[in-house]
Amino acid sequence: MPSSAAANIANPATASDPRREEDSSGGATAAEQALAAMRATVFSADPMAPVPPIEPMIQAPSDSGAPVNASPGADRSELSDFIEISGLLRYDPAAITRIYAGHPQRLFRRLWQTLVPIALYLMGVGSDRLLGRLRGERVRERSREAATLVASLGPAFIKAGQALSTRPDIIPPVLLEELAQLQDQLPGFDSGLAMACIEEDLGAPVDTIYEHLEREPISAASLGQVHRGVLKGGQKVAVKVQRPGLREQITLDLYIVRNIAAWLNRNVGLIRSDLVALIDELGQRVFEEMDYLNEAANAEKFAQLHIHNPRIAVPRIFHEATSRRVLTMEWIDGVKLTNLDAVRGIGVDPDDMVEVGVSCSLQQLLEHGFFHADPHPGNLLALPDGRLAYLDFGMMSTVSRESRTGLIQAVVHLVNRNFGALSKDFVALGFLGEEVNLEPIVPAFESVFGQALEMGVSRMDFKAVTDDLSGVMYRFPFQVPPYYALIIRSLITLEGIALSVDPDFKILGAAYPYFARRLMEDPDPQLRRSLREMLYDGDEFRWQRLESLVNSASLQAQLDLEGLLDQVIEFLFSPNGGLLRRQLVEAAVQRVDALAWRTTLRLGRRLPPNLLPPGLRQRLPEADRRGEPLLDLEPLRQLAAILQDLPGFEPQLLLKRLPRVLSEPDLRQMGFEMARGLAERGVVRLLRDVLVSPA
Question: Known catalytic residues?
Answer: 374
The number of beta carbons lying within 10 Å of the beta carbon of residue 67 is 12
Cα–Cα dist 683/241, whole Å: 86
Q: Find, among 153, 174, 155, 154, the residue nearest to 165 by Cα.
A: 174
SS3 (DSSP) at 219: strand
Cα–Cα dist 217/223, whole Å: 13
- How far from each other are the two terminal CA atoms of the chain, in whole angstroms? 82
Sign of the torsion angle spanned by Cα atoms 263, 266, 268, 274? positive
SS3 (DSSP) at 236: strand
Cα–Cα dist 494/463, whole Å: 11
Task: Specify burial of residue 28 (Cβ count, 10 A radius: 0-12, 13-18, 19+).
Answer: middle
* Range 596-629 burial, b when 16+ CB lie within 10 A, else e: ebeebbeebeeeeeeebeebbbebbeebeeeeee
SS3 per residue for 294-309: HHHHHHHHHHHHCCCC
Region of 75 please: left (phi>0), alpha (psi -120 to 50) or beta: beta
Q: Find, among 691, 540, 559, the residue nearest to 614 by Cα.
A: 691
SS3 per residue for 326-377: EEEEECCCCEECCCHHHHHHCCCCHHHHHHHHHHHHHHHHHHHCEEECCCCH
Cα–Cα dist 73/47, whole Å: 27
Sign of the torsion angle spanned by Cα atoms 124, 130, 136, 139? positive
CB 572 within 8 A of CB 660: no
Q: Which H helix or E strand runs over 312?
A: strand 312-313
Task: Specify burial of residue 370 (Cβ count, 10 A radius: 0-12, 13-18, 19+).
Answer: middle
Pairing state between β 370-372 and 396-398? antiparallel
The strand pairing partners of 64, in sequence order, are none
